[in-house]
Structures are given as C-alpha cells and as structure tokens.
Chain A
Amino acid sequence: MTGMATPTPFVRDLQEALGRDAVIWAPEDLLVYEYDGTFDRGAPEAVAFPASTAEVAAAIKIANAYELPITPRGAGTGLSGGALAVRGGLLLSLNRMRRILDIDPNNRTALVEPGVVNLDLSVAADPYGLAYMPDPSSQRACTIGGNVAENAGGPHCLAYGATTNHVLGLELVTPDGTVQWLGGTNRERPGYDLVGCVVGSEGTVGVVTKIQVKLMPKPEAVRTLLAIFDSMRQASSAVSGVIKAGIVPAALEMIDQQTIAAVEPVLHTGFPLDAEAVLIIEVDGPVSQVQAEDAIVQEIVQSFEPREIRVASELPERERLWAGRKGAISCLGHIQPNYYILDGVVPRTQLPAVLDEVAQIAARYDVQVANVFHAGDGNLHPCLLFDDRVPGMSERVLDAGGEIMRLCVDAGGAITGEHGVGLEKRSYLPWIFTEDDIDAFARLKAAFASSDTFNPCKVFPSGHGCGETSSAHAQKVIQQFGADAYV
C-alpha cells in the first residue's frame, strides 16, 4: 500500500516548517493535483499549503535547498497548464491564504491574500457600493492570486481593462525566498513598474502573497441587450459596427448556435435554439449615459438585421443572461465528453473572416466547434468538442487547435488573450516573437529568479530552462505550420 510509504527528507522538512496537515505527499493524495483545465498533466513530489507569507518563503527555501522545482497554484482553473508541476518537485497551493485583509471604501482599494475567490471580493465590496471589476467566467472558483499570475480578463474587461489595470501593489516572495512589497496604494511610486511586470508573468517570477487592488463604484444603471441573429456573419459584423461607432460597451459577448444548444437545456437562459448566434451587449454607468448609449447601440445593431433585440434592465433577467454566458463552457460537456478550449485574439475588424475560417478548419478536421467569446475585444474561444475514446480524435483536435492559433496569428492577432501561454502554447511563442524578443523576456525573468527551478517549462519555448520537453503535439503542429517568427 502506498499509504505505508515513508516521507522523504524533503517532505519531512516541509512538514516541520508548515505542519503535518499542510503537506500532501502520498501518491494517491497527489492525484487531483496532477491536472488543471488542459490536456497535460504533471505530478508533484509534494503539495504544500502555506497559511502565511512566512510559510511560503519557508517552503520555497526548503525546495531550493533540495534543488527541486517549485510551481505555484491557485484554484487550478487555468486553461494553459500554468499550474502543473511538469518537472515534479513542490506544488505550492495558495488556497489557505484566503483572507480579505482590508477594504478601504474612501480610497477604493482592497488588500487581499492570493487565495481569495474572485467573486468573494466583489461580494465583500458590495455593501460599500464597490466592486472588483475583472470578472473571468470562472469567477466563482478562480482566485485573485491566479488572476494576477495570468492577467485574467473576463467579459467586462472590454470597458474596464484586465487584471493589470486593477492591481496597484503586491507582496512578492521571490524565487530565492525573499519577501518584498512592490508598488503601493497608487501607481505613482518611483521606479520601474515591477507590479506591471509581475502581473501576467504566469507565476514564473515569484509567488504573490498579498495583493492591493483597485475597487470601482458599481455602475448606477446597467442595461443588457440580447441580440438574436440568423447569421453568424451578421452577428460578428454587428460587433465591428458597435466598436467602430465609438461606443465602449461594458461587455460585448457572442454565443453561437452550437453553444446555445448546450446551454439552453441545462440553464434555461432564453437563448433561442434556432438562432445562429446571439450577442450579449451590456452598457453601464450613470442613468442618463446608459439611456443614451442603449439607444445608440440598439440603432447600430438593428442595422445588421437581427431577428430580435431583447432588453434586460432588471437584475434577474440580466443575471439569467450572464449565467448562460458564464456557465456556457461547463454545459458543453453535455454535447461531447471532452472539450478543448482555445484562446486566440484578432483585430476586431478581422472577426467575421476569422470566424468563417474557424468553421472551415473544424469542418476539415471533422471536429465539432462551439464559439462563446469576448467579441468586443476580438478574443476568440473556439471550443473543440470531441470524445477522446475515439481513436485518433485527440490528435485531430490538437492539430485543428494549432491551425486555428496559426490563423489568429496570420490575421494580425496573438496566441492568447487571457488564458496565458503556460505549458500549452509555449511552442507557439516564436510565431509572434523573435529570438531577441524572447531573450528580452528571459532577461526580465533573470532579474527576478537566478535559477531555472522556479516554475520551469512555462511561457518560454523549449531550451529556456526546460530542456527537451516540448509536448509531442506541439512539436507536430510546429512542423506542420512552420516555426518562423511573425514579427
């Protein structure tokens, strides 16, 4: 029985520093920590659950003493393999550090620990009429620490910006285990913008143990439109139409027929099953502004001949629409047992053409595709639906995914809008960056970390501290679609 195994000296040191119940090491207990939301997996030697900054620093120093890799992990909802311990070693779970330390309504800031769930912060700020604006679809589960690592977005970052626009200060434990405060309660601190460098660095330059964020007043009025289209092309043209008219909606999301078919039977949102696509368009702000913008948006959308525009101004209707949008991905499992969610981004004028191409690629590989995404930002999330028990299916899906990524790059876009490069897409990095660019990234990393053992095999292509381990599928895609830089 594996339970009878004895802990290694590394595990014993961790237990001594953090307490026995704060360390998992038996292989059967480690199983759930081998996965996140992606294809890949990686087994750590131990998972530690520090309860304080000091314990994080202690755990890092112990792993360093044994020259073992360290991988930080939040809720494990990431979709690029960022939280996988691909080289084994220590997996540092921040889930026990989940206190909201301060909400300062006068200065509109909050200080939180990394394990605080995204939505819980907005709930806590609500009595003050404030909210934390970045709202990833996984906001009921994902944590602020993970959001910081990935520079998480969400539907409302169209108007409010992504995580990086909302983080003012950080407490960082560096890869060598020293604790530092970066930034502060405003952006005016003299010096390089280290906070801006850490946010979105995908947990490769240290572990964030406290986060000072901006809170914003909840909008006085919100109106959500549901525009129903008989043609995907008309829907995506309407998106361009709204953007080009100079309106900045709070959110502008698209959901296609395949997704509606998955969502409706489960969530009963009211999306018509026979529509080719629906748009959720939200405007918010002072009452008079919302009234004016709502009228303009309706007029623009009307010119793209939707079947119908429904207006939701009451909270329950709006919540129902958003439940449908944010719960969409999890409903896709009702169509096929597996899905592979992509995260590409293209200039917004390219949306109609790129969506057509995505459909063609899916057809060519004979893979079902569902689209549910942040149309206003040009941030696509084609979900490839499949059954991995069908021989050869997983490979086909990965190939189709690679081709869709390449399509985004060819359209002038990028390989990830919000999910991160992580483990999954590091081989694609040379599609948009030169060796010199990637070398500059490495210089920045080197300023934070002197060794290669901190969160290895993430962001950087093979060879940057990760030796040969590029996954087989990525190698194949690179061979198929070229490894040349697109700069």
Chain B
Amino acid sequence: MKSPEASAGLSDGAGIAAVAAATANAYSDTDALDRYLVDGLRPAIAVRPATVEELAAVLRAAATADLAVVLQGGRTATGLGAPPTRYDVALDTSALDAVIDHVPDDFTITVQSGMRFAALQTFLADHGQFVPLDVPFPDKATVGGSVAAARSGPRRGVFGGPRDWLIGCGVVLSHGTTVHSGGRVVKNVSGYDLCKLFSGSLGTLGCIVEATFKLRPLPAADATLVIPTADFDAAIDLGRRIALGVNGLQSIIALDPVSAHDLGLGEVGLVLRAAGVEGAVSSTLQLAGAIAQADSAIQPEPTAPDFWQRLTDREGTPPRGNAVLVRCAAPPDSLRSATAALRAATDQTCLWAYADAGLLFGRLAAPTSALLPAMVATARKGIEALGGSLVVEHAPVTEKRAMDVWGPAGDGITIMRRIKREFDPNATLSPGRFVGGI
C-alpha cells in the first residue's frame, strides 16, 4: 500500500506560511495532517478558519502562491471524485457553524456551511421543521459539504436534492471574493441561479460559506412497511407497480438479501415509507399493501428505529475488500435491466434500489483489486446502454487512479470546463477531482 505523501514538495514554503498567517487555526504537524488525507495524499498545511474573512484570506493567500486547496467539511464524502492532481492546503469549514437567521414562520433558515447536518435538523425539529434531505453520517457531514456533494437519500424521488431546497447561498471564490445568489424568499428569479451551479460542484468552483434553505413541516405521522418478496428482482417489480399505482409514498426501497441482512431485516424485500397527516399515512400504506397482496401474504416486519438513517449511511459507506461502491441512475422502468447490467460485470454484488427514483446502488467486488477498473467499465457500459449513468462513490485508492470514477459528462463538458476557467482560473480548488479532469 502506498504511504501518504505530501504533494507540496515543490511548492513555495513562503506560500504555505502566508496561508498559515491568514488564520489562527493552522496545523502543519504530521498527526494533524493525517486527519486530512484525501485519497492517500497528505496536505502541507491544514486550516480551520474561524470566520468567513479568515477563510477568504486563506483562499487569497493560496491563490497568490498557486497552492491547491481541497475544501472539506465533515469528510464524509471524501471518497467521491478522482484523486486531486495537487493538494497543498486542506481547508476545513467546520468551525463556521452558526445559525445566521431563522424566522420559523417564514419556513426558511440561513446557516453557515460548517454546521453539522444533524445539528441543523435538531435545531429545526424544535420548531417542527426540517430540510427534507437525508445525508449519510449527518453527525459529521456539514451543510456545505452535503450541498457540494449533492447528497440526499431514500426520499430523493419525492424531495429531490439540495438544488431543490437551497434558495440562497454565499460562496467565497478561489481568489477570495465572496458572492451571493438567491436570497431568503421561497420564490425568486432575481439574477442567475448560482445555487444550482454550486450544488453538486464538489468544491471545485468556490467554498460555500452560507446556505439558505426553504423548509418543510415535520410530518405528524411517519410509518414504514416491509413487504417480503421472493428475490431482489421481484422486489423491484413490485416497487415499480406500487410507484405507478400509489401516490403519496416517500420511499420505495428494494433490498437484496445481503442489504436486508445488513439492515437487520430477516428477508429480502421492499420497504415503503409514508409520512404526512395521521390518517393519510396508514391508508397510503394499506393501498400499497393491497397491491402487494396479489403477490404474497404480507407479514409486516418491524424495522429498527434508525433503519432509514442506516439505509442512508450505506450511500456513503466504503465497501470492504476488493470492492467499489457505485451509484447508478437509469429510467425507473429499466431498473431490472440495470440490475442485470451490474450482475453481468461481477457475480459478487450487494444491491439496493430506490424504485421510485430509478436509483440503484451496488457494492461490486472482484476476486482481485486489479480487476476493479475493468469491472467498473463493464458495469458502466451496461448502465449507459439503458440511458443511465454510473458514478463510483468509493474505490480503493490505487485502483481509483486507474478508472474514471465519473464517466462521461456528455455534451456539457465544454461549457463545464469554461465555467471552471471563469470561476477558478488557476485551478486551485480540488484540481482534477471532478468530471473530465476538472
């Protein structure tokens, strides 16, 4: 295994010193830096600015010295993206964790980006509100990181992603300028919508420092129904029929035997979630149950109280051994074929799917790690033939360097490269980490 290396060997010591001088919280001892490894690379310095001004000063100093900066929040999604081509400065946003503005009756909130996602939800729960996004490991994950990595979860089919809830943002660009987009109102078309641009940009265009979300009321009732099925394919088929036949469900999850076992369920099957006003939730699940009855007698199984969070966490959990974690999107009615495509690439799979949204996750293992890149390529080819896409969320570092974790970005890549040049002309932010080598 490759040992961590500092990639800043040739970089300017004076530049590092300037970055260190920009904030009171700078670390350069090996122990501290080992906490900021990205794909096995160790930075020359790590900073945890206490204010937005400090953060801007850090970025300005780094840009001046042409040092590469990798932005980090709770480090729960650092497996996503290609290894950075350069990595001098780890910029940790987690000290910026204040609630800036919350008018409960407006159903909006503005927070600093380093706030932990769970802290945000806990704060809002006291007011009967929430941001309808599920993120893996919310105790660690930050708001900014979750937006930058476009995290959401099992309710994605209904609630979409961060781009659908972020109504305003403040972002420090690579040369240290702070810019804003949107505002604090729930409907707004004033100016270009840079919230969309920065959502999912994985820290390659600027550092999100402030985020405003529109909120939803916490539902009065929230219930789960587990329906055992003969196998994973049957779970997907049933899930699709329920998706088309029943309105009002928030999640329709198909689990293969390994996934079901991991999540504490006895059998392979389908897990449904409904939430809302009291009477509606039970009748929605009853309707779904009635569709399932035709297949098998339902024996509802209890789920652990943290079932949904554990399911969400799987989206961000590195697989053990010679394996990768992939996230595939395909037209929902082709999920069965998508499953077949992954199975054609390897016979060691652990799969689960969001049947309403057309999302399929897979831990795909190979006999040796050297076979992983070819396995991913085969799987991707199969998914793309269905009009879908496959992203590698986690892979062993060495093999990651030998594969394209993103796959093709399509026609838009030319404009994406131009956007990168416009916003980060010297490629100081997470160089090489995004699609097409951006």
Q: B423 — which chain A residues lie within 8 A by C-beta?
A: 440, 443
Q: How large is the interface on B (under 10, 10 to 19, 20 to 34, 35 or more residues)?
A: 35 or more
Contact of A286 with B411 at beta-carbon distance under 8 Å, contacts A184-B387, A186-B357, A247-B217 already known? no
When distances are taken between beta carbons in the complex, the residues of chain B under 8 Å from A436 are 177-179
Residues in A with CB closer than 8 Å to B191 are 421, 429, 432-433, 437-438, 441, 459
> Which residues on B sit within 8 Å (CB–CB) of A247?
217
Residues on the B chain within 8 Å of A421, using CB: 189-191
Stretch in contact with the other chain, from B22-30, B61-69, B98-106, B230-238: B98-106
Closest Cβ neighbor of A191 among chain B residues = B409
* A197/B389 in contact, CB under 8 A: no
Q: Which of A144-193 contact B (CB under 8 A)?
A: 150-151, 153, 157, 161-162, 164-165, 174, 180-193
Query: How many Å lie between the Cα of A271 and that of B108 in the bound state?
Result: 33
Surface stretch bound by A, among B87-95, B194-202, B342-350:
B194-202
- A189 contacts B409, C-beta separation under 8 Å: yes
Interface-forming stretch among B36-44, B157-165, B313-321?
A: B157-165
Cβ-defined contact, B411 with A181, below 8 A: yes
Contacts of B434 in A (CB 8 A): 191
Q: A41: CB under 8 A from chain B?
A: no
Q: A185-B387, A421-B190, A444-B422 are in contact. Are A107 and B333 (CB under 8 A)?
A: yes
**Which listed residue, B106, B276, B287, touches A348 by the CB 8 Å rule?**
B106
Does B336 lie at the interface of the complex (its beta carbon under 8 Å from any beta carbon of A)? no
Complex contacts, A151 vs chain B, CB 8 Å = 189, 193
Let me know if A463 is at the binding interface, CB within 8 A.
Answer: no
In the complex, per-residue mask of A402-430: 1 if CB is within 8 Å of any chain B CB, else 0: 00000000001111111111000100010
Instruction: Given A246-B218, A247-B217, A349-B106, answer yes or no on A192-B200 (Cβ-Cβ < 8 Å).
Output: yes
Give Cα distance in the complex from A189 to B178, angstroms: 28
Q: How far is the CB of A347 from chain B (nearest CB, A)?
A: 5
Among B5-13, B289-297, B412-420, the stretch in contact with A: B412-420
Q: Pick the residue among A108, A220, A347, A445 that contacts B185 (CB under 8 A).
A: A347
Distance A433 CA – B169 CA, assembled complex (angstroms): 12
Is A447 a contact of B407 with CB atoms below 8 Å? no
CA distance A425 to B188 in the complex (A): 14
Can you name the residue of chain A whose Cβ is closest to the Cβ of B128? A246
User: Which B residues between 215 and 235 are near A, CB-CB below 8 angstroms?
Assistant: 216-218
Q: Which of A182-225 contact B (CB under 8 A)?
A: 182-197, 199-201, 217, 219-220
- Contact B248–A289 (Cβ < 8 Å): yes
Q: Is B277 an interface residue (CB 8 A)?
A: yes
In the complex, whether B173 has a CB less than 8 A from a CB of chain A is: yes
Interface membership of A365, Cβ < 8 A: no
Minimum Cβ distance to chain A for residue B259 (Å): 20
User: Does A293 sit within 8 A of B, measured CB to CB?
Assistant: yes
| Residues of the B chain whose Cβ atoms lie less than 8 Å from the Cβ of A81 | none
Q: Is B139 part of the contact surface with A, judged by Cβ < 8 Å?
A: no
- Complex contact B416–A193 (CB within 8 A): no
> In the assembled complex, how far is the CB of residue A387 from the closest CB belonging to chain B, in whole angstroms?
30
**Does B278 sit at the interface, judged by CB under 8 A?**
yes
List 13 additional A-B contacts (Cβ < 8 Å) besides A183-B412, A192-B205, A220-B247.
Answer: A104-B331, A184-B389, A188-B359, A201-B192, A246-B128, A288-B280, A289-B284, A292-B278, A292-B279, A412-B184, A421-B189, A429-B190, A436-B177
Q: List 30 A-B contacts (CB under 8 A).
A: A106-B244, A106-B332, A106-B333, A180-B414, A184-B387, A190-B406, A191-B406, A191-B434, A192-B197, A192-B200, A193-B197, A193-B200, A244-B105, A288-B279, A289-B277, A292-B277, A374-B187, A377-B187, A378-B185, A437-B180, A438-B191, A439-B179, A443-B423, A444-B192, A444-B194, A444-B197, A446-B422, A447-B418, A447-B419, A448-B415
